[in-house]
């Protein structure tokens, strides 16, 4: 039997794998690979937890944003309603004030008109009385004049009382 190089390669191959098995290299490699697999699995689980937490935080932030937007819209609507109500109230107050001022002015004009009419009436009565006095003094004697004067004076007073009341 001739021992050739193939035989020695086969023997060295068996010895090499026997040494590997004797030194428990496959188990150590298996342990290292299992450890790496477990670390990767833990990292994946941790990243999944982080992703879930981030999703929850995002949902909460979105809810808060929606709530803030809703509250903001409600505040704006309320402010608009208050502004409209204020404009209406101010408009009503303006119209009421202008109506009151108009009525006061009309009353003042009516009073001034009545005062002017009274002054004109008084002045015309005085003129009429003076005219009658002149006419009577120039055309009638003194005794008849006193009687006529007294009679006209009494009539005039009664007419004035009727006009004033």
Q: Mind listing the pLDDT tens digit for each residue in 99-108?
A: 999 999 999 9
Give the per-residue pLDDT at 130.
Answer: 80
- Residue partners of 26: CB distance under 8 A and separation at least 6: 20
Is 121 in contact with 163 (CB distance < 8 Å)?
yes
Query: Hey, CA dihedral for 67, 70, 76, 80, is it positive or negative?
Result: negative
The pLDDT score that the predictor gives to residue 61 is 94
Q: Is 70 exceeded by the pLDDT of residue 1? A: no
Nearest-angstrom CA–CA distance, 110 and 104? 10
Structure token pair of residue 149: 């004067």
Classify residue 165 by its DSSP letter: -
In the predicted model, what is the mean pLDDT of the chain? 86
Dist. CA 125–CA 164, nearest whole Å? 14
Q: What is the pLDDT of residue 137?
A: 67
- pTM here is 0.42
Report the alpha-carbon distance of residue 80 to residue 87 in Å, rounded.
10
Express each pLDDT in 34-75 by its tens digit: 999 999 999 999 999 999 999 999 999 999 999 999 999 999
pLDDT band at 144 (very low <50, low <70, confident <90, very high): confident
Q: Find all residues with CB under 8 Å of 125, minimum gap 6, and list them.
A: 156, 160
Q: Long-range contacts: 45-52, Cβ < 8 Å, 24+? A: none
Report the pLDDT value the prediction gives residue 165, as an integer from 0 to 100.
65
What is the C-alpha to C-alpha distance for residues 9 and 156, in angstroms, rounded to an integer? 165
Place 127 in a pLDDT band, splitting at 50, 70 and 90: confident
Whole-number percent of the chain with pLDDT over 90: 48
Mean per-residue pLDDT, 74-82:
93
8 A C-beta contact, residue 134 and residue 145: no
Instruction: Answer with the residue of higher pLDDT: 66 or 24.
Output: 66
Distance CA 162, CA 17 (A): 150
């Amino acid at each position: 039997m001739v021992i050739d190089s193939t035989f020695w390669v086969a023997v060295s191959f068996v010895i090499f794998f026997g040494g590997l098995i004797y030194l428990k290299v496959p188990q150590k490699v298996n342990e290292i690979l299992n450890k790496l697999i477990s670390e990767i699995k833990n990292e994946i689980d941790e990243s999944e937890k982080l992703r879930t937490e981030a999703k929850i935080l995002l949902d909460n932030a979105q809810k808060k944003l929606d709530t803030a937007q809703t509250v903001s819209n409600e505040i704006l609507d309320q402010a608009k309603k208050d502004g409209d109500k204020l404009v209406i109230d101010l408009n009503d107050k303006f119209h009421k004030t202008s109506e009151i001022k108009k009525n006061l002015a009309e009353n003042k004009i009516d009073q001034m008109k009545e005062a002017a009419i009274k002054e004109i009436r008084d002045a015309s009565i005085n003129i009429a009385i003076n005219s009658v006095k002149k006419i009577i003094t120039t055309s009638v004697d003194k005794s008849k004049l006193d009687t006529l004067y007294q009679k006209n004076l009494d009539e005039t007073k009664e007419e004035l009382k009727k006009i004033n009341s």
